[in-house]
């Protein structure tokens, strides 16, 4: 609330009807009230339990009339004071999300990293992508490296029958985890891209993941366990010029995953949406962002994004990899007026994708 109030004041002082000619002075006067909540948010982002101190041995010892006298505390007694009784046995990742994981959009970049980290966790893989050669090379490499079984399904995920073909090809196995990473992005001015491009975005980014979730999700419900992970984007949180339709399709995945998370979480199926910022993948480089944005170091690595996404399964409806991106997402969605958030996105994307 403090941060919100100060940002509103600064916005009015900078852009309001009675904007001050001495904004620097106003900003410096309010700076302490900006720093304090930001420090708290930073602490919360870096530490899972930022306001809890670890139990010390001295805290476990009873008071004694002679503090210097030794107090014998057995290890078993000590542990009994800090352990919660009757905790359920934690199942392994492979137990809950195996024995097979399906990664859609797996031939390179983020999808290939999902395949790598899931293989390292002992899951057999079904890899789906359009580029058959890259897919087969990846499948053979992971099978040899981790000793798992890998199926590769060359499939254009924009085709209307893509989900049905994938469902048929996996009917004889138990797919315990669906990762939909595939996406098509028509970058540029909305009217400079063809209608076919925008419809291709809808097919790849919305229709096929919906169909796969519906088909494979029913099988997970019948078994009483499983997971669904949909990749979204921070651009989905507000209108995003120059990728307007892409951002809208990613908003669909975001809202779909949140609703299914609440609907299925008591039935053994975990649903998660990963809202990532820029990721240093071949597709990101091929989109030709400006040299300055590439060198800024803001883009996350596929390794960190995938690790955050897999760690978030079963813990909530959404994960935003990277503390900087989490702070940015919070500010853009909750602290700034929506019009200002859209304008900021416009300025960022205009700088990246226009001359």
Question: 111: which 2 tokens?
Answer: 């999808």
Query: Phi and psi (nearest 5°) for 183?
Result: -160, 150
Question: 354: which 2 tokens?
Answer: 């226009």
Residue whose pair of structure tokens reads 């031939």 in the numeric block: 107
CB of 186 closer than 8 Å to CB of 198: yes
In total, the chain counts a number of residues equal to 355
Catalytic member of 146, 250, 252, 353: 250
Q: Catalytic residue at 246? A: yes
Cα 310–chain centre separation: 9
Residues 6+ apart with CB under 8 A from 82: 55, 60
Catalytic member of 97, 146, 180, 246: 246
CB atoms within 10 A of CB 199: 14
Bridge partners, 180 (sequence order):
104, 230
First-last CA distance in the chain: 39
CB atoms within 10 A of CB 156: 15
Nearest 10 degrees: Cα torsion 342, 344, 349, 352: 180
Q: Catalytic residue at 11? A: no
Q: What SS3 string covers 105-129?
A: CCCCHHHHHHHHHHHHCCCEEEEEE
Give the containing element (helix H, strand E) for 153. Answer: strand 150-154
Query: CA-CA distance, 343 to 348, in Å (whole number)?
Result: 9
Query: CA-CA distance, 183 to 191, in Å (whole number)?
Result: 20
Query: CA-CA distance, 214 to 177, in Å (whole number)?
Result: 13
Instruction: Compute the Cα dihedral for 48, 49, 51, 53 and give only its sign.
Output: negative
Which among 100, 97, 108, 87 is positioned nearest to 126, based on CA atoms? 100
Q: Which residues are catalytic?
A: 246, 250
């Amino acid at each position: 609330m403090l941060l919100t109030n100060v940002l509103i004041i600064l916005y009015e002082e900078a852009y309001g009807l009675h904007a001050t000619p001495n904004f620097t002075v106003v900003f410096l006067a309010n700076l302490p009230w900006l720093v304090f909540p930001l420090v708290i948010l930073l602490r919360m982002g870096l530490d899972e339990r930022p306001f809890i101190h670890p139990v010390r041995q001295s805290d476990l010892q009873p008071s004694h009339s002679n503090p210097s006298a030794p107090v014998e505390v057995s290890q078993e007694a000590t542990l009994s004071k800090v352990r919660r009784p009757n905790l359920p046995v934690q199942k392994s990742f492979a137990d809950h999300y195996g024995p097979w994981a399906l990664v859609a959009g797996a031939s390179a970049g983020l999808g290939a990293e999902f395949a790598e980290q899931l293989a390292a966790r002992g899951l057999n893989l079904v890899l789906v992508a359009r580029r058959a050669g890259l897919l087969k090379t990846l499948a053979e490499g992971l099978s040899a490296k981790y000793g798992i079984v890998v199926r590769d399904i060359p499939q254009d995920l924009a085709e209307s029958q893509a989900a049905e073909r994938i469902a048929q090809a996996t009917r004889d196995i138990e797919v315990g985890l669906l990762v939909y990473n595939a996406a098509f992005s028509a970058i540029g001015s909305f009217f400079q891209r063809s209608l076919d491009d925008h419809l291709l975005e809808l097919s790849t980014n919305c229709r096929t993941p919906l169909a796969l979730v519906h088909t494979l999700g029913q099988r997970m419900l019948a078994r009483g366990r499983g997971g669904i992970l949909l990749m979204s984007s921070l651009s989905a949180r507000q209108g995003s010029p120059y990728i307007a339709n892409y951002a809208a399709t990613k908003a669909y995945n975001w809202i779909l995953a949140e609703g299914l998370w609440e609907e299925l979480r008591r039935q053994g199926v975990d649903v998660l949406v990963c809202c990532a910022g820029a990721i240093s993948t071949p597709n990101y480089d091929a989109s030709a962002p400006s040299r300055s944005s590439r060198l800024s170091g803001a883009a996350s690595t596929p390794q960190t994004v995938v690790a955050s996404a897999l760690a978030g399964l079963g813990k909530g409806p959404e994960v935003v990899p990277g503390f900087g991106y989490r702070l940015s997402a919070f500010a853009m969605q909750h602290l700034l007026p929506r019009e200002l958030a859209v304008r900021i996105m416009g300025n960022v994307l205009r700088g990246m994708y226009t001359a």
